[in-house]
């Protein structure tokens, strides 16, 4: 038996030697300077250049079908990275000229204004955008453009509150609303922008008095507009402040949802309007595609259907020629606050400090 194993052993050794020799022959070829490794830089575009990289704070699932439609129309692939407004701003600052982002998509005008002030966005020359987006919904230097309008207003339980009892944001500081309010906390950008607009309109002293009144009324602080509406519907509070489209979503699920919208400050300056919008990053490597994306979003991409912006999210389009979703069209017309929305970013730090001093958490 020992004698019969020798040929097998020799064959095995021969195979191992061949494998080592072949591996050694192949090694220099892999290390050849004429065949470099693929680049690993995160911003490297597709070979065709038909790509646009978007940093988006807009996390709603409806955007997927909108981006797919844009790609089908233009051949430009959308690559998406998501995060909060604050985290994406910090990321853009940290990455500097090496950022892979071509577009910054914010859910708040304050975030866009801060990005512009930090030099993270660049001006865009586009007749299409100037014609499609009203001046009050875009940056004066065309560094960002609003694409949807989100109205932050009063909502209420009609079984407990009559519309005649409601009027303004400021009136919610009245003691009659003690233990009856649901509010978003000071840490959220929606609250910060609303208070920033009050500072701009009323001055810091009067705005502080209003916020102190809100805090004195012992509101329930709920860090979700959806849960604020659910709490009002369940009888946990009578009145709140939310973005209008959250109510639109609830009504889309159930037409009998027991909460109604009230447009605030209609006999005064008008209701607070914010935006979601886009800007081209200062270091965009696919600038032309970035501009095409924003132009498309402001024109062909505007509408109330599921494959358009705002689509099923129930915001109002920024382009006046686009038709809003029928549910929010049923909310009726409103008078908007004419303030330049860039003020939200300019006064955001002041708003945060004011709320802290006023005891509004």
Q: What is the pLDDT of residues 252-308, one digit of tens each?
A: 999 999 999 999 999 999 999 999 999 999 999 999 999 999 999 999 999 988 889
What are the tens digits of pLDDT across the range 53-85? 999 999 765 688 999 999 999 999 999 999 999
Instruction: Assess whether 246 and 166 both reside in one domain.
Output: yes
Copy the structure tokens of residue 239: 């009145």
Give the per-residue pLDDT at 146. Answer: 97
Looking at the DSSP bridge assignments, the partners of residue 86 are none
Asked, for residue 21, whether it belongs to a domain, the answer is: no
Instruction: Assess whether 245 and 185 both reside in one domain.
Output: yes
Copy the structure tokens of residue 306: 């599921």
The helix/strand/coil state of 162 is: coil
Asked, for residue 114, whether it belongs to a domain, the answer is: yes
Copy the structure tokens of residue 89: 């701003």
Instruction: Assess whether 74 and 144 both reside in one domain.
Output: yes
Instruction: Assess whether 71 and 144 both reside in one domain.
Output: yes
Copy the structure tokens of residue 216: 């004195």
Range of the domain at 260: 150-272+345-358
Asked, for residue 175, whether it belongs to a domain, the answer is: yes
Asked, for residue 316, whether it belongs to a domain, the answer is: yes
SS (H, E, C) 191-253: HHHHHHHHHHHHCHHHHHHHHHHHHHCCCEECCCHHHHHHHHHCCCCCEEEEEHHHHHHHHHH
What are the tens digits of pLDDT across the range 143-160? 999 999 999 999 999 999
Give the chain's end-to-end CA distance (angstroms, integer).
87
Instruction: Tell me how far apart the alpha carbons of residues 340 and 94 are, in angstroms, rounded to a whole number.
Output: 29
Inter-residue contact 99 to 288 (CB < 8 Å): no
CATH number of domain containing 142: 3.40.190.10
**Prediction pTM value:** 0.82
Residue 2 pLDDT > 50: no
Instruction: Assess whether 238 and 354 both reside in one domain.
Output: yes
Instruction: Tell me how far apart the alpha carbons of residues 246 and 155 are, in angstroms, rounded to a whole number.
Output: 10
- Cα torsion 329, 104, 122, 52: sign: negative
Copy the structure tokens of residue 55: 């940093």
Inter-residue contact 203 to 347 (CB < 8 Å): no
Residue 19 pLDDT > 80: no
**Residue 360, CB-side half-sphere exposure with 13 Å CA sphere:** 29
Percent of the chain with pLDDT over 90: 81
DSSP 254: -
Task: Calculate the average pLDDT of the chain.
Answer: 88
Copy the structure tokens of residue 341: 């929305």
Instruction: Assess whether 193 and 84 both reside in one domain.
Output: no
Give the per-residue pLDDT at 62. Answer: 66
Instruction: Assess whether 92 and 128 both reside in one domain.
Output: yes
Asked, for residue 215, whether it belongs to a domain, the answer is: yes
Mean pLDDT score, 34-41: 32
Of 38 and 265, more confident: 265
Give the per-residue pLDDT at 131. Answer: 98
Give the per-residue pLDDT at 22. Answer: 33
Asked, for residue 244, whether it belongs to a domain, the answer is: yes
Instruction: Assess whether 170 and 182 both reside in one domain.
Output: yes
Instruction: Assess whether 180 and 86 both reside in one domain.
Output: no
Question: Per-residue confidence at 86, pLDDT binned at 50, 70, 90?
Answer: very high
Asked, for residue 9, whether it belongs to a domain, the answer is: no
Asked, for residue 90, whether it belongs to a domain, the answer is: yes
Check residue 161 and give left, alpha or beta (phi > 0: left; psi -120 to 50: alpha): beta
Instruction: Assess whether 161 and 292 both reside in one domain.
Output: no
Copy the structure tokens of residue 248: 């639109």
Instruction: Assess whether 55 and 178 both reside in one domain.
Output: no
Inter-residue contact 91 to 83 (CB < 8 Å): yes
Copy the structure tokens of residue 350: 């002041």
Residue 207 pLDDT > 50: yes
When divided into structural domains, the chain yields a total of 2
Residue 12 pLDDT > 90: no
Residue 1 pLDDT > 70: no
Instruction: Assess whether 133 and 167 both reside in one domain.
Output: no
Residue 40 pLDDT > 90: no
Of 21 and 229, more confident: 229
């Amino acid at each position: 038996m020992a004698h019969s194993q020798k040929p097998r052993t020799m064959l095995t050794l021969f195979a191992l030697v061949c494998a080592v020799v072949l591996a050694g022959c192949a090694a220099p070829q892999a290390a050849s300077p004429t065949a470099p490794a693929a680049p690993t830089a995160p911003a490297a575009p597709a070979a065709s250049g038909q790509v646009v990289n978007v940093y988006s704070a807009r996390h709603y699932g409806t955007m997927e079908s909108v981006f797919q439609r844009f790609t089908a129309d233009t051949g430009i692939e959308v690559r998406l990275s998501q995060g909060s407004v604050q985290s994406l701003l910090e990321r853009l600052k940290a990455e500097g000229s090496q950022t892979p982002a071509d577009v910054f998509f914010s859910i708040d005008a304050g975030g866009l204004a801060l990005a512009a002030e930090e030099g993270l966005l660049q001006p865009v020359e586009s007749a299409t955008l100037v014609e499609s987006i009203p001046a009050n919904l875009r940056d004066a230097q065309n560094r960002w453009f609003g694409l949807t309008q989100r109205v932050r207003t009063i909502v209420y339980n009609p079984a407990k509150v009559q519309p005649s009892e409601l009027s303004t944001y400021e009136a919610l500081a009245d003691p009659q609303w003690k233990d009856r309010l649901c509010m978003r906390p000071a840490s959220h950008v929606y609250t910060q922008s609303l208070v920033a607009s009050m500072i701009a309109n009323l001055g810091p002293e009067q705005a502080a008095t209003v916020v102190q009144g809100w805090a004195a009324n012992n509101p329930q602080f709920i860090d979700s507009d959806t849960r604020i509406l659910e709490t009002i519907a369940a009888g946990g509070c009578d009145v709140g402040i939310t973005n209008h489209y959250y109510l639109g979503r609830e009504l889309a699920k159930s037409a009998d949802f027991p909460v109604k919208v009230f447009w605030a400050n209609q006999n005064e300056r008008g209701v607070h309007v914010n935006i979601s919008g886009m800007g081209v990053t200062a270091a965009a490597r696919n600038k032309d595609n970035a501009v095409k994306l924003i132009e498309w979003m402001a024109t062909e991409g505007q509408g109330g259907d599921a494959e358009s912006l705002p689509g099923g999210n129930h915001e109002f389009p920024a382009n006046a020629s686009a038709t809003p979703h029928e549910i929010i069209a049923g909310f009726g017309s409103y008078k908007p606050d004419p303030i330049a929305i860039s003020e939200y970013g300019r006064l955001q730090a002041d708003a945060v400090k004011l709320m802290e001093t006023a005891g509004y958490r």
